[in-house]
Amino acid sequence: MNRISSRHILSISDLMHQDIELILDTADSLKEILARPIKKVPPLRGRTVVNLFFEPSTRTRLSFELAAKRLSADTVSVAAAASSVVKGETLIDTARNVEAMRPDVIVLRHSCSGAPHLMANYVKTAAVINAGDGMNEHPTQALLDLFTVKEHFGRLSGLKVAIIGDIAHSRVAHSDILAFTKMGADVFVSGAATMFPVMIETMGARVVPRPEEAIEGADVVMALRIQKERQGGRSLIPSVREYAAVFGLTSERMRLAKPGAVVMHPGPINRGVEMAPELADGPYSVILDQVTNGVAVRMAILSLILPEDHLTSL
């Protein structure tokens, strides 16, 4: 089996175009395993994946665990509250101690931007996968979003992607902008002006003030929740009600999109705020497809990040 060019997966920027294509193609071939009566194959038998989640997570954590188990790897999951972090251990010491137990892959989610990059600097043998670091990036979420869109449309290049919401504090938005533009899509972003990062357009997205302008003619419309936990207790909008009225994704606004457009959301959804319930559950929605595809994409990533001689054939 081929390998991607990067030893770690820390940022979409680290992946070349052909790396992303390889991940998506591999995920496509592995996804059928999820529909089998016995959902397990042996490629990573004898390998160990450690999940270090220092922030709450449902989809990402469970997805990585299932992906590893589907490939017959051994998995160990550690939450911050159950680790020596509560006793004052530094991330560097945690990394060194975990690596001393000889895992093959360390999956890290952390509230501090750059934490996976720091860990990767101190581990010598294990591969590090960024499962979300602060307000920085969430590269595997972007990869599963790419896969979901490509699965639906058969292509990525030339599509119009609208991302609506709290862009400044969303690591998903940052990775998705980098990923979709790298693969040839046109990305438009909209939201409250107080929720835009400085120099957002340097990432490749076009900023528009009104969500209707972003959604008009879009093939893909992604809504993002307000990241209250990353706003330092500040109030960046007059009220949730006003935000929903101005920026919430509704059926009326969705009618501006192209016929056959899809609605996406990385979850968790705040229904009635960034998205109307009828859209989350309606015919436009591929939100649950994103969840299913998250397992397939992370299976692909785990398969491709380990040295080839560590793998057995499917």
Residues taking part in catalysis: 59-60, 87, 109, 138
Please count the helices (runs of H) and the strands (runs of E) in the chain. 11, 9
Instruction: Classify burial at 204, counting beta carbons within 10 Å of its beta carbon; exposed 0-12, middle 13-18, buried 19 or more.
Output: middle
Residues 79, 80, 84, CA angle at the centre, nearest 5°? Answer: 115
- Please, where are the H alpha helices in 183-286? 211-215, 240-247, 251-254, 277-280
Token pair for 265: 């959301």
Return the SS3 of 105: strand
> Which one-letter amino acid corresponds to residue 122?
Y
* Pairing of the two strands 127-133 and 105-110: parallel
Tokens at 199, concatenated: 């120099």
